[in-house]
């Protein structure tokens, strides 16, 4: 199903077969044909492949347009009504629109729409609520967490004392007894919940109870599932989380950006605002703020609820088809938009499979699985997501075909059968041609 903002009339004209942009990038083509050709090639790649990276999506034509406006010509350090530059008559309205829409959509008392992306948004939480050297707690990266949840190679793990929880080896699920015991022992200032490879519903209430017991600020990192929450397809972290951190470009279908939402009236928003500016950033990217506002407007429409539920329905249907083909799925399936597969039983490393699938026109990322004996740069698994394919109208009726392609692709990866990969590539391109992506040129 398509969102209202991605109707064919809003699609821009096609690139020519060589991948050179036609009339839709005239100034760029005239000034810098080399770069324009690269844009055209990327458009063709996105149009003709089955994009299954769980953190990616297609934005609507309206979001794309808002992100390419003259709003980017303006500096506006500060917040609406309290800027360090003049000429904010319009920009203040744009940012206020985005803030109000974010608050309404997620039911929070405060919204900051300025973080440049997810990692700076998370870093702002440290600056707001902890001091260097303080103990912070998050899900370990190889278990499904994020670098910025206190993992050692990240600034958040170098400048703070990160302690990490994981999942149970027998179920792949978070063990709340372990989380509670760790929190009681370590007394972290901050607890992060959420992650990048968590295929099951996050129990925000359980995290909230633990955070309250130990006096920690709970940050719910909903980057992956923000669109599902907005569309009612995943429970909300409100009122359990003190702060919600999210990117805007994954299931939410906005531009690359981020938001920090805070529960009020505890006055957490003030600390968040100070941390984002002047703590970490200078002027906000106003063109991105505008595109976020558009995405939030789209996400508030009834059609977005259908979209969010369709993303989950597709992931569940795909998981069933993959299980039927003997794939080993972490936790045995999914409750959300992503599937994490351990390819060890198929005798193919995750990286080998991901690269072969890419040659077959199915774009995924290789990923560690919990308790992975292999290294992160060459792990045992791959991660699959359904947000992007759902945005271009694929439904549960297509998931058997997608599972069959993945199965054939993994077998071809093991046997080195490039011809088989080429055949899948052709079939993928045919289905993609029948389901044009929002915001992309149509043939």
Task: Please report, as ranges, the residues that interact with ligand DSN according to CB under 6 A.
Answer: 55, 146, 196
Q: Which residue matches tokens 């899900």? A: 139
Question: Any catalytic annotation for residue 177?
Answer: no
Task: Please provide the DSSP assignment of 108-119 as one string.
Answer: -SEEE---SSHH
3-state helix, strand, coil in the chain (%, to 5): 50, 15, 40
Question: Any catalytic annotation for residue 401?
Answer: no
63 to each of 294, 309, 332, 440, how far by Cα in Å? 6, 21, 36, 12
Question: Any catalytic annotation for residue 43?
Answer: no
Smallest gap, in angstroms, from Cβ of residue 196 to ligand DSN? Answer: 3
Smallest gap, in angstroms, from Cβ of residue 378 to ligand DSN? Answer: 18
Q: List Cβ neighbours of 192 (8 Å cut-off, separation of 6 or more).
A: 122, 125, 136, 137, 138, 139, 145, 146, 148, 149, 150, 219, 221
Nearer to ligand DSN, 196 or 380 (CB): 196
Nearer to ligand DSN, 196 or 334 (CB): 196
**Chain centroid offset of residue 283 CA:** 24
Nearer to ligand DSN, 5 or 197 (CB): 197
Instruction: Pick left, alpha or beta for residue 161 (phi over 0 → left; psi -120 to 50 → alpha; otherwise beta).
Output: beta
3-class DSSP state for residue 164?
strand
Nearer to ligand DSN, 285 or 337 (CB): 337
Nearer to ligand DSN, 149 or 398 (CB): 149
Q: List Cβ neighbours of 134 (8 Å cut-off, separation of 6 or more).
A: 160, 161, 188, 189, 190
Smallest gap, in angstroms, from Cβ of residue 151 to ligand DSN? Answer: 11
- Closest by alpha carbon to 221, among 189, 188, 247, 187? 247
Nearer to ligand DSN, 379 or 436 (CB): 379
Q: Which residue matches tokens 């915001």? A: 439
Cis peptide bond prior to 78, omega within 30° of 0: no
Token duo for residue 389: 């394919």
70 to each of 155, 248, 313, how far by Cα in Å? 34, 21, 39
Report d(CA 166, CA 174) in Å as an integer: 6
3-class DSSP state for residue 228?
helix
Token duo for residue 336: 């959300």
Catalytically annotated residue among 103, 161, 256, 359: 256
Smallest gap, in angstroms, from Cβ of residue 110 to ligand DSN? Answer: 24
Which ranges of 325-398 would DSSP assign to H, the alpha helix? 350-359, 387-391
Q: Which residues pair with 247 in a beta bridge?
A: 258
Catalytically annotated residue among 250, 346, 392, 408: 250
Nearer to ligand DSN, 114 or 154 (CB): 154
Report d(CA 413, CA 407) in Å as an integer: 10
Smallest gap, in angstroms, from Cβ of residue 101 to ligand DSN? Answer: 23
- Closest by alpha carbon to 392, among 425, 441, 350, 434? 434
Nearer to ligand DSN, 221 or 242 (CB): 221
Report d(CA 328, CA 344) in Å as an integer: 8
Nearer to ligand DSN, 55 or 112 (CB): 55
CB 402 within 8 A of CB 358: no
Question: Any catalytic annotation for residue 247?
Answer: yes
Question: Any catalytic annotation for residue 264?
Answer: no
Catalytically annotated residue among 20, 48, 74, 77: 77
Question: Any catalytic annotation for residue 56?
Answer: no
Catalytically annotated residue among 20, 75, 103, 175: 75
Catalytically annotated residue among 247, 288, 331, 390: 247
Token duo for residue 246: 């999210």
CB 257 within 8 A of CB 292: yes
Smallest gap, in angstroms, from Cβ of residue 54 to ligand DSN? Answer: 6
For the annotated catalytic residues, the residue numbers are 75, 77, 221, 247, 250, 256
């Amino acid at each position: 199903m398509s969102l209202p903002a991605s109707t064919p009339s809003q699609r821009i004209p096609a690139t020519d077969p060589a991948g050179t942009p036609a009339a839709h990038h005239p100034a760029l083509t005239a000034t810098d044909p080399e770069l324009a050709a690269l844009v055209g090639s990327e458009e063709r790649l996105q149009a003709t492949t089955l994009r299954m990276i769980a953190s990616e999506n297609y934005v609507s034509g309206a979001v794309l347009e808002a992100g390419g406006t003259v709003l980017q010509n303006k500096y506006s350090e500060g917040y609406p009504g309290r800027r360090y530059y003049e000429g904010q008559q319009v920009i203040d309205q744009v940012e206020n629109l985005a803030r109000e829409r974010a608050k309404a959509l997620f039911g929070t008392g405060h919204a900051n729409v300025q973080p440049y992306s997810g990692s700076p948004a998370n870093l702002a939480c440290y600056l707001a609520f902890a001091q260097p050297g303080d103990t912070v707690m998050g899900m370990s990266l190889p278990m499904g967490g994020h670098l910025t949840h206190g993992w050692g190679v990240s600034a958040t793990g170098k400048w703070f004392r990160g302690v990490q929880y994981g999942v149970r080896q027998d179920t792949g699920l978070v063990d709340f007894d372990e989380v509670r015991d760790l929190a009681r022992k370590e007394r972290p200032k901050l607890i992060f919940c959420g992650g990048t490879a968590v295929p099951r519903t996050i129990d925000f209430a359980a995290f909230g109870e633990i955070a309250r017991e130990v006096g920690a600020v709970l940050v719910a990192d909903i980057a992956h599932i923000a669109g599902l929450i907005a569309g009612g397809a995943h429970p909300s972290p409100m009122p359990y989380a003190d702060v919600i951190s999210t990117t805007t470009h994954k299931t939410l279908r906005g531009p690359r950006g981020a938001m920090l939402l805070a529960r009020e009236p505890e006055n957490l928003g003030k600390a968040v605002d100070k941390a984002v500016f002047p703590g970490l950033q200078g002027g906000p990217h106003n063109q991105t703020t505008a595109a976020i506002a558009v995405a939030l407007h789209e996400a508030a429409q009834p059609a977005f609820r259908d979209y969010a539920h369709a993303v989950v329905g597709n992931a569940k249907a795909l998981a069933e088809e993959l299980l039927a083909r003997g794939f080993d799925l972490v936790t045995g399936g999914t409750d959300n938009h992503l599937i994490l597969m351990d390819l060890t039983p198929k005798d193919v490393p995750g990286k080998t499979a991901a690269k072969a699938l890419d040659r077959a026109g199915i774009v995924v990322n290789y990923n560690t699985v919990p308790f992975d004996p292999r290294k992160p740069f060459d792990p045992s698994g791959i991660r699959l997501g359904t947000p992007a394919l759902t945005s271009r109208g694929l439904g549960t009726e297509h998931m058997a075909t997608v599972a069959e392609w993945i199965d054939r692709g993994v077998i071809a990866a093991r046997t080195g059968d490039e011809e088989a990969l080429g055949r899948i590539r052709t079939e993928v391109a045919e289905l993609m041609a029948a389901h044009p992506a929002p915001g992309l040129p149509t043939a």
